[in-house]
Structure 1
């Protein structure tokens, strides 16, 4: 399995907007619509990546833990569905149901949103503050599918806690590692 790291775009980058259909809800979402009072988490992921499958339970727990604290959460799949039909919108809806994902899971058919975020892998995490400025981009934690480190979500949870409680976030952040986005 290929291991692709995050591109680690500059902290302070303004959140790119989007207008994408949700596969698990019958509506479109913009950044403004998913935005939380305290901050927003944009996750690039897909259905079949072993790195995503390894951490999906923790992603769902993080969403459940932090939405009530003012963090807006959205997941986006930008994979090419011609060559990777398992990531098609109908399969995304099934995956969301199976995994109990009750935040919007959006489909980026043109891949323009992934390019705007400079997303590179799945999962790829982008945390923005209440001013829509990037404060964290990096890994969920040190766990990987084959390294026997338990999934904790510690790196991302620490960053979200800092946003929620208005604390400084360490700018020394480790990139996420995952499958590359399947570009057309």
Structure 2
């Protein structure tokens, strides 16, 4: 594991097109209908930083779906070199953590590049006009630091976006395992 911080994609950036297969093989095409916003989470199965937040993350992202956000999780890791991130293991995570949102495979890693994603976990929130309002961390917890896993930063971003408020606080980059790029 290489500890990596996320890049800070400029606020106001247009939501990149997402057209990927989910872990069960079905094609996901980004919806065009009205949404309160969009939440994109770059995650994987094996990174300790993702494992640390999975239960709370699933709950928060499932609630965002109820708030009319389009939510997707994307695994951009080279799963052939890192079999813990295989589609079969992604399906296990979907069922174990009750994901009510698509868990997508970025086979070409082009989607991660479009977002300038560098690590897992990494979160992006876009408003109803598909403009970036938040990019950064889930909360201040990391494996072993003793901080509560609560999703505070992401919750605040979702609420602010839903209510068309500008975020008051600084946006702190996410930190986690580097995306496992194909060689």
Q: Quick check: TM above 0.5? A: yes
Corresponding residue for 1:161?
Answer: 159
Question: In the alignment, is the contact (CA less than 8 A) between 1:70 and 1:164 conserved in 2?
Answer: no
Q: Distance in 2 between matches of 1:10 and 1:71?
A: 21
Corresponding residue for 1:102?
Answer: 100
Matched residue pairs, number? 182
Q: Where in structure 1 do 4 or more consecutive aligned residues deviate above 4 Å?
A: none
Q: Distance in 2 between matches of 1:136 and 1:67?
A: 17
Report the alpha carbon displacement of residue 19 of structure 1 after superposing the two structures with TM: 1.1
For the pair 1:31 / 2:40, whether they are aligned, the reply is no
Could you report, residue by residue, the CA deviation over 1:59-94 in whole angstroms, capped at 9, with x for unpaired residues? 111122221111111000010122101111111111
Corresponding residue for 1:48?
Answer: 46
Consecutive unaligned residues of structure 1, counting only runs of 5 or more, are none
1:6-155 aligned within 5 A: 6-24=6-24, 26-32=25-31, 37-155=35-153
Q: Distance in 2 between matches of 1:97 and 1:111?
A: 24
**1:22 and 1:56, CA in 2 relative to 1: closer, same or farther beyond 3 A?**
same
Q: Distance in 1 between matches of 2:84 and 2:153?
A: 29
Q: Distance in 2 between matches of 1:181 and 1:4?
A: 9
Q: Distance in 1 between matches of 2:170 and 2:29?
A: 29
Q: Distance in 1 between matches of 2:86 and 2:31?
A: 25
Consecutive unaligned residues of structure 2, counting only runs of 5 or more, are none
Question: In the alignment, is the contact (CA less than 8 A) between 1:36 and 1:72 conserved in 2?
Answer: no
Question: In the alignment, is the contact (CA less than 8 A) between 1:80 and 1:183 conserved in 2?
Answer: yes
Q: TM-score, normalised by structure 1?
A: 0.94
Question: In the alignment, is the contact (CA less than 8 A) between 1:62 and 1:157 conserved in 2?
Answer: yes
Report the alpha carbon displacement of residue 179 of structure 1 after superposing the two structures with TM: 0.3
Q: Distance in 2 between matches of 1:76 and 1:103?
A: 11
Question: In the alignment, is the contact (CA less than 8 A) between 2:138 and 2:174 conserved in 1?
Answer: yes
Q: Which moved more, 1:58-67 or 1:126-135?
A: 58-67
